[in-house]
Amino acid sequence: MTAVSDEYQWHTNYSLEVAILYSIAALGIILNFVQTFCILIEKEIRNLLSAFLIHGAIINAVLASYCIVFALSLHDKSFQNLCKYLGSSYIVIMTANIFNLIAIIASEVYKLNYYENDLNANTNKYNNICCVVFGLSIVYVSSLILHLGPTLIGGNFNFDSQTGFCLFIFGQTKNYVVFVVWIVIVTLVLAACTYYLISLHSNLNRLIDQHSTISSRISLQKNQKTADELVLTKSRAWTLSCVTGLHVLCWYPLFGLLISDKNFQIPIGLYRALTCLAWSNSFLEPLIYLLLDRKVIRCCLKLVSNSQLTELTGNNRSSRLQRIGDRLKSAPIENEIEIELRQISNYDCAQPFERSQNPDYRTWKNNNFLEC
């Protein structure tokens, strides 16, 4: 198979693929924005190490945005000329996303080690901006260097007329080798994620055992705070495990198909379905954080409760003002005599206390004047 020629005729209907890609793009942008917003407004998780989580959400939003251009290339040939740049940059950003996952897991291990020291020595110094900047730089440098030789230079990125997607041209031996190299790179990165996940779970279990041993020697308030933090960290650890597994579930069906079908003989529909599954990772990942990570869930619940409280307060205030207004409208208007009697009564209230002790005076006042 060769690249698209000028004589290429547009006969295939890609309406289903276009709808799927637009849906992936919309869900990915919205969910990643919600995840980022929750992290930024929640004080408990808004720290420097959360920069990797925010960075991952931004990368996923960018990957979801690619689906818009991929969808446009299916029904507008003018966008097909961009496939050379879209395909190569997508692969680099996708690999950078997995490298960023390593940074997220490693930062949790790093924070857990310092949190263990905080239990013993009351030191909390894991917010280091230099480490965060260095980690973000390594994410892109590593992805770019690994792909520069075997993938970006060696691959043939263009619009594939049979699958209809802006990636490699399928069925070429040259691109098959590039596929294998790409899969090896992703596999090694996911293996590193697995290694750090094992370390995270191991350190977390050890810290939980340590906390249960020394819990009787520390104050109740600090004990409860430590227990809450360990529960939240354990939830984050399992969430990261699910995110790592999600990359395997979304991408490796397509990778397995690419490796097994060297001569490009499997039906095209399977390629399209598995490619859409791989691209759906960009909106499924933030969905996992929003559903499983207790730190993010707690923030979402606060947002919902605060919005409901604000709405309830506004409704109560409106109804109260309405009742006051109705009461004022129904109140009779005082005439001049009533106003004069009220003024006399108010003046009388200011007289000496002895006068008010006269029984005849009190009887006359109760019958003719308002209470003071």
Mean pLDDT per 10-residue segment, the chain (372 residues): 38 75 95 91 78 93 91 74 77 90 88 64 57 82 75 61 64 75 90 92 83 57 67 88 95 90 81 89 94 81 63 56 55 50 51 52 52 46
Q: Is residue 315 part of a domain?
A: no
Residue linked to tokens 């495990």:
241
Number of structural domains in the chain? 2
What is the structure's pLDDT at 299?
A: 75
Q: Assign residue 278 a region (left: φ > 0; alpha: ψ between -120 and 50; beta: otherwise).
A: alpha
Query: Is there a single domain that holds both residue 220 and residue 362?
Result: no
Q: Is residue 324 part of a domain?
A: no
Q: Assign residue 173 a region (left: φ > 0; alpha: ψ between -120 and 50; beta: otherwise).
A: alpha
Nearest to 105 by CA among 196, 190, 187: 196
Query: Is there a single domain that holds both residue 121 and residue 261?
Result: yes
What is the structure's pLDDT at 23?
A: 95
Residue 85 corresponds to which amino acid?
Y
Query: Is there a single domain that holds both residue 252 and residue 360?
Result: no
Give CA–CA dist 133/312, Å, rounded.
43
Residues 255-282, buried b or exposed e (16+ Cβ, 10 A)? beebeebeebeeeeeebbbbbbbbbbbb
Give CA–CA dist 155/3, Å, rounded.
12
Query: Is there a single domain that holds both residue 224 and residue 353?
Result: no
Which CATH number is 223's domain given?
1.20.1070.10
Query: Is there a single domain that holds both residue 232 and residue 347?
Result: no
What is the structure's pLDDT at 122?
A: 44
Listed in order, strand segments (DSSP E) in the chain are 157-159, 166-168
Give CA–CA dist 167/170, Å, rounded.
9
Both tokens of 304, joined, read 């919902």
What is the structure's pLDDT at 8?
A: 39
Residues spanned by the domain of 353: 339-372
What is the structure's pLDDT at 3?
A: 37
Query: Is there a single domain that holds both residue 360 and residue 242?
Result: no
Query: Is there a single domain that holds both residue 362 and residue 247?
Result: no
What is the structure's pLDDT at 22?
A: 94
